[in-house]
A = this chain, B = another copy of it.
């Protein structure tokens, strides 16, 4: 972090702390409503099940008032863990103790960093990777390695070379509609990676935040479901993208041998997750037809994605990207500009997206931006891309 506060007393690890440009952008765009932001990973407000959430809050206050307003179990509200177990997981032999509810899956990344990573831990990450994972892991100062991504998942030869050469302790990945690359691992690669991780005894941290956002309604099986060694397998999920990020609720499947450590860290971090929100979520899931709800989101986001493609083709024919199978983003290559200049000039025109190097361990020359299509309405999206194109063409001509 650039600073002139050289005399400030700080723990040594703070030199490794990364800020998130996304959060800074969010702050600016909240203050200035003329900004058109393609930066966040915000669900579309029209898709939040507001009526049912309202009903769930009423039920919570009528039937669970006392427990909703008290401290709760550090592992999370049991009924909610039970619903997560039944509805959102494809692993065998789990019980309620296998699941810990966290304050968004972001909190789990921090807990896993604290649990598993020190300066002697070797962590393998996809390149690019989720910025929030870099933020969560960095303060624990592990050695980080990166693995190239292809459209259907990691480069397996490179993976095997890394695993055979370096002792990798943990592999963090986001196999479905990856944030930010949007790449989705094929089932074949999921199986092959599971088998390689078993062979080399590597801990898997599988982040499934976007798992249910496939445009055609497909749900890919987890990598974890193909592993033999579930003792080395953590699976993270979240309600933020499919229900609402306002409640800050995610979950982690924790292998038996790690459970007491994970819980002890969760306690030290925040005692327990928001009990009120957990009970609201439990009521909501009991009343919501989740399949219909997910189908609605999937259809909506596919339409939004198609609209973004249409606008890019119309205004910015120079750019390239893979057409994703799901998720909330396009990962777009902008030739002939520099990241810094393009970003700065877009900010002047009140349009923003996230520069690709934010998602990398080591910056590269090629200019990518992550463009969110879930949040803006069609008119704003077109206007934003028009502004962006005008900035882009000003620079390259």
Residue total for A at the interface (Cβ-Cβ under 8 A): 82
Return A4 CB to nearest CB of chain B, in Å: 10
Other-chain residue from B10, B140, B203, B270 in contact with A107 (beta carbon distance below 8 A): B270
Q: Given A9-B116, A107-B269, A140-B11, is A45 in contact with B23 using a C-beta cutoff of 8 Å?
A: no
B-contacting residues, A261-302, CB 8 Å: 261, 263-265, 267-277
Residue A17 interfacial (CB < 8 Å): yes
Q: Would you give the 0/1 interface string for A25-38, flagging 1 where the beta carbon is closer than 8 Å to chain B?
A: 01100100000000
Residue A114 interfacial (CB < 8 Å): yes
A75 nearest CB neighbor, chain B only: B27
Q: Given A27-B73, A70-B42, is A19 in contact with B271 using a C-beta cutoff of 8 Å?
A: no
A231 nearest CB neighbor, chain B only: B8
**B70 and A45 contact, CB distance less than 8 A:** yes
Residue A164 interfacial (CB < 8 Å): no
**A271 and B23 contact, CB distance less than 8 A:** yes
Return A2 CB to nearest CB of chain B, in Å: 10
With a CB–CB cut-off of 8 A, which chain B residues contact A148? none
Q: Given A12-B120, A103-B103, is A136 in contact with B268 using a C-beta cutoff of 8 Å?
A: yes
**B66 and A61 contact, CB distance less than 8 A:** no
Residue A326 interfacial (CB < 8 Å): no
CA of A185 to CA of B104 in the docked complex: distance in angstroms? Answer: 38
With a CB–CB cut-off of 8 A, which chain B residues contact A72? 246
- The number of times this chain is found in the oligomer is 2
**A1 and B260 contact, CB distance less than 8 A:** yes
CA of A73 to CA of B248 in the docked complex: distance in angstroms? Answer: 13
CA of A48 to CA of B267 in the docked complex: distance in angstroms? Answer: 23
B-contacting residues, A242-260, CB 8 Å: 244-248, 257-258, 260
Residue A366 interfacial (CB < 8 Å): no
With a CB–CB cut-off of 8 A, which chain B residues contact A17? 261, 264-265, 268
**A271 and B132 contact, CB distance less than 8 A:** yes
Residue A40 interfacial (CB < 8 Å): yes
With a CB–CB cut-off of 8 A, which chain B residues contact A116? 9-11
Residue A386 interfacial (CB < 8 Å): no
With a CB–CB cut-off of 8 A, which chain B residues contact A118? 11-13
CA of A57 to CA of B110 in the docked complex: distance in angstroms? Answer: 30
Return A359 CB to nearest CB of chain B, in Å: 15
**B23 and A267 contact, CB distance less than 8 A:** yes
With a CB–CB cut-off of 8 A, which chain B residues contact A246? 68-72, 274-276
With a CB–CB cut-off of 8 A, which chain B residues contact A26? 71, 73
Residue A227 interfacial (CB < 8 Å): no
Return A6 CB to nearest CB of chain B, in Å: 11
Residue A309 interfacial (CB < 8 Å): no
With a CB–CB cut-off of 8 A, which chain B residues contact A18? 264, 268
CA of A66 to CA of B169 in the docked complex: distance in angstroms? Answer: 41
With a CB–CB cut-off of 8 A, which chain B residues contact A115? 10-11, 14
With a CB–CB cut-off of 8 A, which chain B residues contact A42? 70-71
Residue A328 interfacial (CB < 8 Å): no
Residue A50 interfacial (CB < 8 Å): yes
With a CB–CB cut-off of 8 A, which chain B residues contact A264? 1, 17-20, 135
Additional A-B contacts beyond A12-B118, A30-B73, A104-B271 (4; CB < 8 A): A8-B257, A8-B258, A20-B264, A27-B74
10 pairs of A and B residues whose beta carbons are closest in the complex:
A135-B268, A69-B246, A69-B244, A11-B118, A246-B276, A246-B275, A107-B270, A103-B270, A19-B264, A248-B274
Q: Can you offer 21 A-B residue contacts whose CB atoms are under 8 A?
A: A9-B169, A10-B261, A11-B114, A14-B261, A17-B265, A17-B268, A48-B65, A50-B65, A69-B244, A71-B240, A71-B246, A103-B270, A110-B269, A114-B139, A132-B271, A244-B276, A246-B274, A246-B275, A248-B272, A248-B274, A276-B277
